[in-house]
Structure 1
Amino acid sequence: MKRFLIGITLLSSLVAQAQFGRNCEVRQFKLNAFNPGMEYEMATGVNSTLDIRIAWQMAVEPASSAPVEDYDFFPALTIQNRYYHNFNGRQRRGRDIYGNSGNYLAPTVSVFSPGQRTVEGRVVEDLHGVGGLVYGVQRSYDSGLSFSVDVGAGYYVGPFKGDILPVANLSIGWIISEKRWCVGR
Protein backbone atom coordinates (compact mmCIF):
# COMPACT_ATOMS: atom_id res chain seq x y z
CA MET A 1 0.00 0.00 0.00
CA LYS A 2 2.80 2.41 0.91
CA ARG A 3 4.55 1.71 -2.40
CA PHE A 4 1.33 2.33 -4.31
CA LEU A 5 0.75 5.73 -2.69
CA ILE A 6 4.41 6.72 -3.11
CA GLY A 7 4.25 5.61 -6.75
CA ILE A 8 1.15 7.74 -7.40
CA THR A 9 2.87 10.72 -5.80
CA LEU A 10 6.01 10.31 -7.92
CA LEU A 11 4.00 9.74 -11.10
CA SER A 12 2.02 12.94 -10.47
CA SER A 13 5.29 14.84 -10.09
CA LEU A 14 6.71 13.44 -13.32
CA VAL A 15 3.58 14.20 -15.34
CA ALA A 16 3.80 17.82 -14.21
CA GLN A 17 6.14 18.93 -17.01
CA ALA A 18 4.81 22.46 -17.39
CA GLN A 19 3.60 23.72 -20.73
CA PHE A 20 3.21 27.15 -19.19
CA GLY A 21 -0.30 28.43 -19.60
CA ARG A 22 -1.56 31.86 -20.37
CA ASN A 23 -4.07 31.89 -17.53
CA CYS A 24 -2.33 30.15 -14.62
CA GLU A 25 0.44 31.51 -12.47
CA VAL A 26 3.67 29.78 -13.52
CA ARG A 27 4.40 29.01 -9.88
CA GLN A 28 3.54 30.26 -6.42
CA PHE A 29 4.65 29.30 -2.93
CA LYS A 30 2.28 29.79 0.01
CA LEU A 31 2.40 29.49 3.78
CA ASN A 32 -0.84 28.20 5.29
CA ALA A 33 -2.11 29.29 8.68
CA PHE A 34 -5.34 27.29 9.14
CA ASN A 35 -3.70 23.95 8.35
CA PRO A 36 -0.13 24.93 9.31
CA GLY A 37 2.23 24.09 6.50
CA MET A 38 3.52 24.97 3.05
CA GLU A 39 1.95 24.79 -0.39
CA TYR A 40 3.49 24.94 -3.87
CA GLU A 41 1.37 25.38 -7.00
CA MET A 42 2.78 25.25 -10.53
CA ALA A 43 1.20 25.56 -13.95
CA THR A 44 0.92 22.37 -15.98
CA GLY A 45 -1.29 23.67 -18.78
CA VAL A 46 -3.39 26.56 -19.98
CA ASN A 47 -5.93 26.27 -17.14
CA SER A 48 -4.40 23.57 -14.93
CA THR A 49 -1.92 23.38 -12.07
CA LEU A 50 -0.25 20.82 -9.84
CA ASP A 51 -0.72 21.73 -6.17
CA ILE A 52 1.48 20.09 -3.52
CA ARG A 53 0.76 20.73 0.16
CA ILE A 54 2.65 19.55 3.24
CA ALA A 55 0.75 20.45 6.39
CA TRP A 56 -0.88 19.43 9.64
CA GLN A 57 -4.27 18.77 8.13
CA MET A 58 -7.65 18.16 9.73
CA ALA A 59 -9.13 14.87 8.50
CA VAL A 60 -11.68 12.25 9.37
CA GLU A 61 -10.45 9.35 11.52
CA PRO A 62 -11.03 6.44 9.12
CA ALA A 63 -10.21 3.79 11.77
CA SER A 64 -13.18 4.95 13.88
CA SER A 65 -16.60 3.26 13.76
CA ALA A 66 -18.11 6.74 13.07
CA PRO A 67 -15.34 8.31 10.94
CA VAL A 68 -17.38 11.29 9.72
CA GLU A 69 -18.01 12.38 13.32
CA ASP A 70 -14.43 11.79 14.52
CA TYR A 71 -11.88 14.36 13.32
CA ASP A 72 -8.22 14.86 14.15
CA PHE A 73 -5.14 16.74 12.89
CA PHE A 74 -2.60 14.58 11.04
CA PRO A 75 0.67 15.41 9.26
CA ALA A 76 -0.17 15.03 5.56
CA LEU A 77 1.12 15.30 2.01
CA THR A 78 -1.63 16.27 -0.44
CA ILE A 79 -1.31 16.45 -4.22
CA GLN A 80 -4.01 17.85 -6.50
CA ASN A 81 -4.08 18.29 -10.26
CA ARG A 82 -6.42 21.29 -10.49
CA TYR A 83 -8.33 22.23 -13.63
CA TYR A 84 -9.67 25.80 -13.38
CA HIS A 85 -12.81 25.83 -15.51
CA ASN A 86 -13.92 29.46 -15.13
CA PHE A 87 -10.85 31.64 -15.85
CA ASN A 88 -12.24 32.87 -19.17
CA GLY A 89 -15.66 33.65 -17.69
CA ARG A 90 -14.06 35.57 -14.81
CA GLN A 91 -12.00 37.61 -17.29
CA ARG A 92 -15.07 38.42 -19.43
CA ARG A 93 -16.86 39.71 -16.32
CA GLY A 94 -13.83 41.84 -15.37
CA ARG A 95 -12.89 39.69 -12.38
CA ASP A 96 -9.30 39.06 -11.33
CA ILE A 97 -7.61 35.67 -11.87
CA TYR A 98 -4.41 36.67 -10.03
CA GLY A 99 -3.00 33.88 -7.91
CA ASN A 100 -5.17 31.36 -9.76
CA SER A 101 -8.39 32.90 -8.44
CA GLY A 102 -11.01 30.58 -9.87
CA ASN A 103 -13.10 27.47 -9.40
CA TYR A 104 -11.54 24.07 -10.02
CA LEU A 105 -12.12 20.35 -10.30
CA ALA A 106 -9.25 18.17 -9.07
CA PRO A 107 -8.32 14.57 -8.52
CA THR A 108 -6.64 14.51 -5.11
CA VAL A 109 -4.34 12.13 -3.26
CA SER A 110 -3.40 12.55 0.41
CA VAL A 111 -1.05 10.49 2.53
CA PHE A 112 -1.39 10.88 6.31
CA SER A 113 1.34 9.88 8.75
CA PRO A 114 -0.27 10.02 12.19
CA GLY A 115 2.01 7.49 13.86
CA GLN A 116 0.69 5.15 16.54
CA ARG A 117 -2.60 6.17 18.14
CA THR A 118 -5.44 4.58 20.07
CA VAL A 119 -8.86 4.66 18.41
CA GLU A 120 -11.83 3.23 20.32
CA GLY A 121 -9.60 1.14 22.58
CA ARG A 122 -7.43 -0.42 19.86
CA VAL A 123 -3.98 0.60 18.70
CA VAL A 124 -3.79 1.85 15.10
CA GLU A 125 -0.47 2.60 13.46
CA ASP A 126 1.05 3.15 10.05
CA LEU A 127 0.19 5.44 7.15
CA HIS A 128 -3.23 5.85 5.68
CA GLY A 129 -4.33 7.68 2.58
CA VAL A 130 -7.21 8.86 0.45
CA GLY A 131 -7.70 9.26 -3.27
CA GLY A 132 -10.72 11.01 -4.72
CA LEU A 133 -12.22 13.92 -6.61
CA VAL A 134 -12.93 17.40 -5.22
CA TYR A 135 -14.52 20.65 -6.41
CA GLY A 136 -12.98 23.82 -5.06
CA VAL A 137 -12.74 27.59 -5.02
CA GLN A 138 -9.50 29.54 -4.68
CA ARG A 139 -9.15 33.31 -4.28
CA SER A 140 -5.98 35.39 -3.94
CA TYR A 141 -5.68 39.10 -3.26
CA ASP A 142 -3.05 41.79 -3.98
CA SER A 143 -2.11 41.79 -0.28
CA GLY A 144 -0.90 38.19 -0.70
CA LEU A 145 -3.79 36.71 1.28
CA SER A 146 -4.97 33.49 -0.32
CA PHE A 147 -7.63 30.95 0.55
CA SER A 148 -8.98 27.81 -1.02
CA VAL A 149 -11.68 25.39 -0.03
CA ASP A 150 -12.56 22.14 -1.74
CA VAL A 151 -14.97 19.30 -0.98
CA GLY A 152 -15.65 15.92 -2.51
CA ALA A 153 -15.39 12.21 -1.81
CA GLY A 154 -12.53 9.78 -1.68
CA TYR A 155 -11.62 6.19 -0.95
CA TYR A 156 -9.65 5.86 2.29
CA VAL A 157 -7.09 3.05 2.58
CA GLY A 158 -4.79 1.98 5.41
CA PRO A 159 -4.66 -0.33 8.44
CA PHE A 160 -8.47 -0.55 8.55
CA LYS A 161 -11.31 -1.51 6.24
CA GLY A 162 -11.30 0.86 3.24
CA ASP A 163 -14.33 3.05 2.69
CA ILE A 164 -15.61 5.99 0.64
CA LEU A 165 -15.84 9.05 2.90
CA PRO A 166 -16.01 12.84 2.52
CA VAL A 167 -12.90 14.87 1.67
CA ALA A 168 -12.62 18.55 2.55
CA ASN A 169 -9.66 20.92 2.56
CA LEU A 170 -9.41 24.51 3.75
CA SER A 171 -6.26 26.57 3.24
CA ILE A 172 -5.89 30.13 4.46
CA GLY A 173 -2.50 31.76 4.15
CA TRP A 174 -0.18 34.06 2.26
CA ILE A 175 1.55 33.91 -1.09
CA ILE A 176 5.22 34.52 -0.26
CA SER A 177 6.78 33.88 -3.67
CA GLU A 178 5.32 33.91 -7.14
CA LYS A 179 6.18 33.91 -10.83
CA ARG A 180 3.34 35.67 -12.63
CA TRP A 181 2.04 34.78 -16.06
CA CYS A 182 -1.60 35.72 -15.62
CA VAL A 183 -3.18 37.75 -18.41
CA GLY A 184 -6.18 38.46 -16.19
CA ARG A 185 -4.41 41.13 -14.17
Structure 2
Amino acid sequence: MKKIYFLMLLLAASYVHAQDDAPVSVEKNQFKINMLFPGFVYEHGFSEKNTLYSEVALGLGYSYSDYYGESNIVIAPLITEQFRHYYNLQKRANKGKRTERNSGNYLALNASYYFTPISGKSEHFSYVPSSAVAVLWGLQRTYKGRFNLEFSVGPGVQFDKYRTEFLPAGNFTLGWVIGK
Protein backbone atom coordinates (compact mmCIF):
# COMPACT_ATOMS: atom_id res chain seq x y z
CA MET A 1 0.00 0.00 0.00
CA LYS A 2 2.90 2.37 0.80
CA LYS A 3 4.28 1.73 -2.69
CA ILE A 4 0.96 2.77 -4.26
CA TYR A 5 0.86 6.01 -2.24
CA PHE A 6 4.49 6.67 -3.12
CA LEU A 7 3.79 6.09 -6.84
CA MET A 8 0.70 8.34 -6.69
CA LEU A 9 2.75 11.06 -4.99
CA LEU A 10 5.52 10.70 -7.57
CA LEU A 11 2.97 10.85 -10.41
CA ALA A 12 1.31 13.95 -8.92
CA ALA A 13 4.69 15.67 -8.49
CA SER A 14 5.66 14.95 -12.10
CA TYR A 15 2.27 16.28 -13.29
CA VAL A 16 2.76 19.55 -11.37
CA HIS A 17 6.30 19.87 -12.76
CA ALA A 18 5.02 19.24 -16.30
CA GLN A 19 2.46 22.02 -15.81
CA ASP A 20 5.25 24.41 -14.81
CA ASP A 21 7.20 23.53 -17.96
CA ALA A 22 4.18 23.89 -20.25
CA PRO A 23 4.79 26.72 -22.72
CA VAL A 24 3.00 29.97 -22.03
CA SER A 25 0.83 31.03 -24.95
CA VAL A 26 -0.95 34.16 -26.16
CA GLU A 27 -4.74 34.41 -26.01
CA LYS A 28 -6.55 32.90 -28.98
CA ASN A 29 -9.09 35.78 -29.14
CA GLN A 30 -8.94 39.04 -27.21
CA PHE A 31 -11.14 42.13 -27.49
CA LYS A 32 -10.26 45.51 -25.97
CA ILE A 33 -11.78 48.96 -25.68
CA ASN A 34 -9.30 51.84 -25.67
CA MET A 35 -10.29 54.89 -23.69
CA LEU A 36 -7.44 57.42 -24.12
CA PHE A 37 -7.84 57.50 -27.91
CA PRO A 38 -11.25 55.88 -28.32
CA GLY A 39 -11.20 52.68 -30.30
CA PHE A 40 -11.76 48.94 -30.52
CA VAL A 41 -9.12 46.21 -30.79
CA TYR A 42 -9.26 42.56 -31.73
CA GLU A 43 -6.11 40.48 -31.21
CA HIS A 44 -6.06 36.97 -32.67
CA GLY A 45 -3.40 34.51 -31.52
CA PHE A 46 -2.43 32.09 -34.25
CA SER A 47 0.57 30.44 -32.58
CA GLU A 48 2.11 30.31 -29.08
CA LYS A 49 3.84 33.69 -29.40
CA ASN A 50 2.35 35.42 -32.46
CA THR A 51 -0.81 37.49 -32.91
CA LEU A 52 -2.55 39.59 -35.51
CA TYR A 53 -3.66 42.87 -33.90
CA SER A 54 -6.46 44.87 -35.58
CA GLU A 55 -7.57 48.29 -34.36
CA VAL A 56 -10.11 50.94 -35.36
CA ALA A 57 -9.61 54.18 -33.42
CA LEU A 58 -9.16 57.93 -33.40
CA GLY A 59 -5.53 59.03 -33.68
CA LEU A 60 -3.74 62.20 -32.73
CA GLY A 61 -1.28 63.86 -35.11
CA TYR A 62 1.00 66.87 -35.15
CA SER A 63 2.34 68.92 -38.06
CA TYR A 64 4.47 72.03 -38.38
CA SER A 65 4.90 74.41 -41.32
CA ASP A 66 8.25 76.22 -41.65
CA TYR A 67 6.73 78.45 -44.30
CA TYR A 68 3.91 79.75 -42.09
CA GLY A 69 5.68 79.21 -38.76
CA GLU A 70 2.57 77.45 -37.53
CA SER A 71 1.84 74.08 -35.98
CA ASN A 72 -1.36 72.09 -35.96
CA ILE A 73 -2.77 69.15 -34.00
CA VAL A 74 -5.28 66.90 -35.76
CA ILE A 75 -7.61 64.06 -34.79
CA ALA A 76 -8.19 61.46 -37.50
CA PRO A 77 -9.90 58.06 -37.70
CA LEU A 78 -7.44 55.25 -38.35
CA ILE A 79 -7.18 51.53 -39.02
CA THR A 80 -4.11 49.63 -37.79
CA GLU A 81 -2.90 46.08 -38.45
CA GLN A 82 0.09 44.58 -36.65
CA PHE A 83 1.85 41.27 -36.72
CA ARG A 84 3.15 40.84 -33.15
CA HIS A 85 5.74 38.45 -31.78
CA TYR A 86 5.67 38.21 -27.96
CA TYR A 87 9.22 37.24 -27.05
CA ASN A 88 9.30 37.16 -23.24
CA LEU A 89 6.14 35.37 -22.06
CA GLN A 90 7.95 32.29 -20.74
CA LYS A 91 10.57 34.40 -18.96
CA ARG A 92 7.81 36.45 -17.27
CA ALA A 93 5.99 33.28 -16.23
CA ASN A 94 9.20 31.80 -14.78
CA LYS A 95 9.61 34.94 -12.66
CA GLY A 96 6.01 34.67 -11.43
CA LYS A 97 4.86 37.74 -13.40
CA ARG A 98 1.51 37.96 -15.17
CA THR A 99 1.25 36.69 -18.73
CA GLU A 100 -2.55 36.51 -18.87
CA ARG A 101 -4.24 38.36 -21.70
CA ASN A 102 -0.96 38.83 -23.60
CA SER A 103 0.88 40.68 -20.84
CA GLY A 104 4.38 40.77 -22.28
CA ASN A 105 6.84 42.55 -24.54
CA TYR A 106 6.63 42.28 -28.31
CA LEU A 107 8.16 43.20 -31.64
CA ALA A 108 5.68 44.22 -34.33
CA LEU A 109 5.35 45.05 -38.00
CA ASN A 110 2.77 47.84 -38.15
CA ALA A 111 0.65 49.18 -41.03
CA SER A 112 -1.80 52.04 -40.50
CA TYR A 113 -4.18 54.01 -42.69
CA TYR A 114 -5.21 57.51 -41.54
CA PHE A 115 -8.43 58.94 -42.95
CA THR A 116 -9.04 62.66 -43.54
CA PRO A 117 -8.92 64.43 -40.13
CA ILE A 118 -12.16 65.30 -38.39
CA SER A 119 -10.58 68.22 -36.51
CA GLY A 120 -7.53 70.46 -36.77
CA LYS A 121 -8.09 71.71 -40.32
CA SER A 122 -6.83 75.24 -40.98
CA GLU A 123 -6.28 77.59 -43.91
CA HIS A 124 -2.53 76.80 -43.96
CA PHE A 125 -2.81 73.02 -43.69
CA SER A 126 -4.53 70.70 -46.11
CA TYR A 127 -4.66 67.02 -45.30
CA VAL A 128 -5.15 63.97 -47.43
CA PRO A 129 -5.51 60.39 -46.28
CA SER A 130 -2.15 58.76 -45.58
CA SER A 131 -0.57 55.43 -44.72
CA ALA A 132 2.29 54.48 -42.44
CA VAL A 133 4.44 51.41 -41.91
CA ALA A 134 6.71 50.90 -38.92
CA VAL A 135 8.76 48.42 -36.96
CA LEU A 136 7.81 48.65 -33.29
CA TRP A 137 8.99 47.47 -29.91
CA GLY A 138 6.19 47.44 -27.39
CA LEU A 139 4.80 46.19 -24.15
CA GLN A 140 1.29 45.29 -23.11
CA ARG A 141 0.12 44.72 -19.56
CA THR A 142 -3.30 43.60 -18.43
CA TYR A 143 -3.89 43.90 -14.70
CA LYS A 144 -6.54 42.55 -12.36
CA GLY A 145 -9.90 43.99 -13.26
CA ARG A 146 -8.81 43.68 -16.93
CA PHE A 147 -7.32 47.19 -16.99
CA ASN A 148 -4.99 47.31 -20.00
CA LEU A 149 -1.95 49.50 -20.64
CA GLU A 150 0.00 49.44 -23.88
CA PHE A 151 3.02 51.34 -25.19
CA SER A 152 4.98 50.97 -28.44
CA VAL A 153 7.67 52.93 -30.27
CA GLY A 154 9.88 52.56 -33.34
CA PRO A 155 10.96 53.97 -36.71
CA GLY A 156 8.37 54.43 -39.41
CA VAL A 157 7.59 55.81 -42.86
CA GLN A 158 4.45 57.84 -43.56
CA PHE A 159 3.32 58.48 -47.11
CA ASP A 160 0.45 60.05 -49.03
CA LYS A 161 -0.05 61.11 -52.63
CA TYR A 162 2.26 64.14 -52.22
CA ARG A 163 5.18 63.09 -50.01
CA THR A 164 6.99 60.38 -48.08
CA GLU A 165 8.53 61.03 -44.65
CA PHE A 166 10.56 59.05 -42.15
CA LEU A 167 9.01 59.62 -38.73
CA PRO A 168 9.11 58.14 -35.26
CA ALA A 169 6.05 55.96 -34.68
CA GLY A 170 4.46 55.29 -31.33
CA ASN A 171 1.31 54.47 -29.48
CA PHE A 172 0.08 54.67 -25.89
CA THR A 173 -3.30 53.31 -24.87
CA LEU A 174 -5.30 52.77 -21.72
CA GLY A 175 -8.35 50.56 -21.81
CA TRP A 176 -10.07 47.32 -20.78
CA VAL A 177 -10.05 43.78 -22.04
CA ILE A 178 -13.65 42.68 -22.60
CA GLY A 179 -15.15 39.23 -22.94
CA LYS A 180 -14.35 35.99 -21.14
Structure 2 length-normalised TM? 0.77
Q: Which residue of 2 aligns with 1:27?
A: 29
Whole-angstrom CA distance in 1 between matches of 2:157 and 2:122: 20
Superposed CA deviations along residues 124-161 of structure 1, whole A, max 9, x for unmatched, are: 33x10100101001000120111111011111011331
Q: Give the number of aligned pairs.
A: 153
> 1:139 is matched with which residue: 138, 141, 152?
141
**Structure 1's 60 and 82: CA in aligned 2 closer, same or farther, altered over 3 A?**
farther
Deviation of 1:119 after TM superposition, in Å, equals 5.7
Whole-angstrom CA distance in 1 between matches of 2:72 and 2:95: 42
Q: Which residue of 2 aligns with 1:48?
A: 50
Whole-angstrom CA distance in 2 between matches of 1:71 and 1:101: 32
> 1:80 is matched with which residue: 73, 79, 82?
82
Identity of paired residues, percent? Answer: 28
Q: Which residue of 1 aligns with 2:127?
A: 124
Whole-angstrom CA distance in 1 between matches of 2:145 and 2:94: 23
Structure 1 length-normalised TM? 0.75
Compute the RMSD of aligned alpha carbons: 2.1
Q: Which residue of 1 aligns with 2:9?
A: none
Is 2:74–2:117's contact at 8 Å kept on the other side of the alignment? Answer: no
Q: Which has the higher helix share?
A: 2
Deviation of 1:122 after TM superposition, in Å, equals 4.7
Is 1:124–1:159's contact at 8 Å kept on the other side of the alignment? Answer: no
Deviation of 1:118 after TM superposition, in Å, equals 4.4
Whole-angstrom CA distance in 2 between matches of 1:105 and 1:122: 34
Superposed CA deviations along residues 65-85 of structure 1, whole A, max 9, x for unmatched, are: 47xx75422100011111011
